[in-house]
Amino acid sequence: MSASYDLWFNRLVLQYNPPPLIATILERALTLLRPRGLAIFQVRVYLAGYRFKIDEYLRQQANHGPSEMHLLPQSAILDLAHRAGCRLLEIRQEDSAGMPWISQFFTFEKS
């Protein structure tokens, strides 16, 4: 992502990345939106007992650990959007992640 755009859409992709990378992707996507541009995306936001520790993650990756699913908490997403100058239009819970995950669709508009 190197040029600005009017619409950014993402579904069922971010969850395959560790939380720091999800945050980096979202920050970049939201920052590059043109004024009045929309970002519509799905992110897993909660799982009871979920934790992410970078040292454990790197150790698993070095040992070719299993493919895993991740999340980014709703509060982190809202903070990223605010810092990028985006306003929240809608949050909808969606069930593609399956139980016990909680996943949401977000729609933001660039100010």
Q: What is the pTM of this model?
A: 0.90
- Pull the structure tokens for residue 90: 């809608």
Q: What's the CATH superfamily of 5-110?
A: Vaccinia Virus protein VP39 (3.40.50.150)
Helices and strands per DSSP (H, E), number in the chain: 3, 4
Burial of residue 107 (CB within 10 Å: 0-12, 13-18, 19+) is: middle
pLDDT at 65: 61
Domain boundaries, the chain: 5-110
Pairing of strands 5-10, 33-46: parallel
Q: Give the tens place of pLDDT for each residue, 18-54.
A: 999 999 999 999 999 999 999 999 999 999 999 999 8
- Pull the structure tokens for residue 51: 């934790």
